[in-house]
Amino acid sequence: MGKGGAAVKLYEVRLVLKSPAIITRRRTERGYIRPPEYIPGSTLRGAVVTALFRAGPLGEEDLSREASQPSILASAAFPLAGGHRTLPATPFMARCKLCGHTQDLTESAARALEGGHNPEFPGFCPRCLSRGLVSPLESMHGELVYLDGDEYKTFRPRTFRATSVGISKTRGSAVREMLFEYEAIAEGSEFWARLAVADGIELPGRLEVTLGRGSSRGFGWAELSLTQVQARPAPDRGVFIALSPLLPEKAWEWGGSRVEVERAFGRTFRVQLGWDIRKGAPRPFATLVKPGAVALVSQSCEPAALRAGLPVALNGDIITGLNALVPVDEYYRLLRG
Ligand SMILES: [Zn+2]
């Protein structure tokens, strides 16, 4: 994608779950973590590619090429809260436990970083201090936030937990080892995301996809509506916010696009990067920074690919669904829009 400056289109996606979706719990070294409150970009990308193959625009050859040369990339899909886009909070947003006030120092941190200074993190609640109370603030990094007027609110999609028994196809009986617990995102939940699509692939305005596990049992049916949006040019050097997990590497490159990270802020987590279908083996573990990470970067990227996240080659695997970046002013436009 983006080779030789080929045009890449940017789409905003709205997704409505028509049935509950089981987003697979991800493996960590200590066990499983509960499903994220967003749909990973790699899951959304896989669903769109499969649906386009079923509907016709992609053929067999396109499908096998997608594994090594993705022409469709997706940011993570974050929930819509009553029509408001939610975005992952940055490490410079913090909440007061006493009065509930949210202090957001992201924009001043961005100015400091771009000027070569150290950013300031939220410390004590300014509202409580003015009333003579010293209340430490709690980091909100990675929580999903939206703006209700000028007030920050946090949001979590409605989920429920259930236990399922695997049925052996040959014996027709419940297989004890296959008893598993899952968490599902409720039907009716809405999400938004961005897709970068190589020129030459025409996306329909609407697309029905299946997400996550259990689609043969009716889980994970979703309807997508796709609107092409303008990918504005982004600054060559500046502070960006990640709309997906971020790979904490110094630089990454893909199809003529390049990102160099000077500084990055955010909490890390270690996770297994899914299952490699071609090799029939689990992918390796990687350390990632939570969505909402703030990074000072130099970039020369195709604007749409930057927003959906450049793929990364890791131990011979092509990993997608990471490194979606937006400039700080665009983050706030999305939050207010
Ligand atoms: Zn307070």
Distance from C-alpha of 149 to C-alpha of 147, rounded to nearest angstrom: 6
Domain end: 74, 109, 140, which one? 140
Percentage with pLDDT > 70 across the chain: 88
Number of structural domains found in the chain: 2
* pLDDT attached to residue 124: 94
Same-domain pairing of 176 and 321: yes
36 within domain boundaries: yes
Higher pLDDT, 234 or 279: 234
* pLDDT attached to residue 57: 80
Same-domain pairing of 331 and 212: yes
Instruction: Output 174-177 pairs: Cβ under 8 A, ≥24 positions apart.
Output: none
Same-domain pairing of 213 and 108: no
Q: How far is the CA of 125 from the centre of ligand 1 (A)?
A: 5
Contact 104, 143 (CB under 8 A): no
Which residues, at least 6 apart from 86, have a Cβ–Cβ distance to it below 8 Å? 78, 79, 80, 144, 145, 146, 155
Minimal CA–CA distance to 73: which of 288, 312, 293, 281? 312
151 within domain boundaries: no
269 within domain boundaries: yes
Same-domain pairing of 176 and 316: yes
* pLDDT attached to residue 39: 92
Residues, CB-to-ion distance under 5 Å, ligand 1: 96, 98-99, 101, 125, 127-128, 135
Q: How far is the CA of 103 from the centre of ligand 1 (A)?
A: 9
Q: How far is the CA of 334 from the centre of ligand 1 (A)?
A: 26
* pLDDT attached to residue 58: 86
146 within domain boundaries: no
Q: What is the mean pLDDT of the chain?
A: 88
Q: Inform me whether the pLDDT recorded for 26 exceeds 70.
A: no
pLDDT digits (tens, 9 = 90+) for 74-133: 999 999 999 999 999 999 999 999 999 999 999 999 999 999 999 999 999 999 999 999
Give the CATH number, domain containing residue 275.
3.30.70
Q: How far is the CA of 65 from the centre of ligand 1 (A)?
A: 53
Same-domain pairing of 70 and 97: no
Same-domain pairing of 60 and 96: no
264 within domain boundaries: yes
* pLDDT attached to residue 23: 77
Same-domain pairing of 106 and 188: no
145 within domain boundaries: no
Same-domain pairing of 19 and 108: no
Same-domain pairing of 233 and 124: no
pTM: 0.89
Q: How far is the CA of 155 from the centre of ligand 1 (A)?
A: 20
Domain end: 140, 170, 204, which one? 140
Q: How far is the CA of 113 from the centre of ligand 1 (A)?
A: 27
Domain end: 107, 140, 173, which one? 140
Contact 306, 298 (CB under 8 A): no
Q: How far is the CA of 268 from the centre of ligand 1 (A)?
A: 27
Same-domain pairing of 99 and 213: no
Q: How far is the CA of 258 from the centre of ligand 1 (A)?
A: 42
Residue span of the structural domain in which 135 resides:
92-140
170 within domain boundaries: yes
Same-domain pairing of 310 and 189: yes
152 within domain boundaries: no
Per-residue confidence band for 3, with pLDDT thresholds at 50, 70 and 90 = very low
Q: Inform me whether the pLDDT recorded for 33 exceeds 60.
A: no
Same-domain pairing of 123 and 229: no
* pLDDT attached to residue 4: 43
Q: What is the 3-state secondary structure (H, E, C) of the chain?
A: CCHHHCCEEEEEEEEEECCCEECCCEEECCEEECCCCCECHHHHHHHHHHHHHHHCCCCHHHHHHHHHCCCEEECCEEEEECCEECEECCCCEEEECCCCCEEECHHHHHHHHHCCCCCCCCCECHHHHCCCCCCEEEECCCCEEEEECCEEEECCCCEEEEEECCECCCCCCECHHHCEEEEEECCCCEEEEEEEEECCCCCCCEEEEECCECHHHCCCEEEEEEEEECCCCCCCEEEEEECCCECCCCEEEECCEEEEEEEEECCEEEEECCEECCCCEECCEEEEECCCCEEEEEEECCHHHHHHCCCEEECCEEECCCCCEEEHHHHHHHHHC
